[in-house]
Amino acid sequence: MQAAVEGLLGDQTIGIDRVDVDADPALKARFGWDVPLLFDGETEIGRHRLDPASFSDWLRQTGSWE
């Protein structure tokens, strides 16, 4: 998913924090095998794979992409 996000962002500079769900017991209990995940705070943007249209919509809605 990281490569897909980076491919869609191109030259855009957006802060993304990568978190290892398996290394955090609370996250592992919450998400189990439902990885990879993409969140904006508590808002889920994607799970298992990136949907380019949904990601682009999210970028427009947040004002991160014109």
Residues 6+ apart with CB under 8 A from 56: 8, 65
Q: Which of 11-15, 49-53, 62-66 has the lowest mean pLDDT?
A: 62-66
Assess whether pLDDT exceeds 60 at residue 1: yes
Q: How many domains is the chain partitioned into structurally?
A: 1
Q: What is the pLDDT of residue 66?
A: 52
pLDDT band for position 10 (cuts 50, 70, 90): confident
Domain range for 28 is 2-62
Alpha helices by DSSP H, the chain: 2-9, 25-31, 52-62
Q: What is the pLDDT of residue 64?
A: 67
pTM confidence score: 0.75
Q: What is the CATH number of the domain that holds 17?
A: 3.40.30
The answer to whether the beta carbons of residues 26 and 33 sit under 8 Å apart is no
State the Cα–Cα distance between residues 6 and 24, nearest whole angstrom: 24
Q: What is the pLDDT of residue 65?
A: 58
Q: What is the pLDDT of residue 19?
A: 92
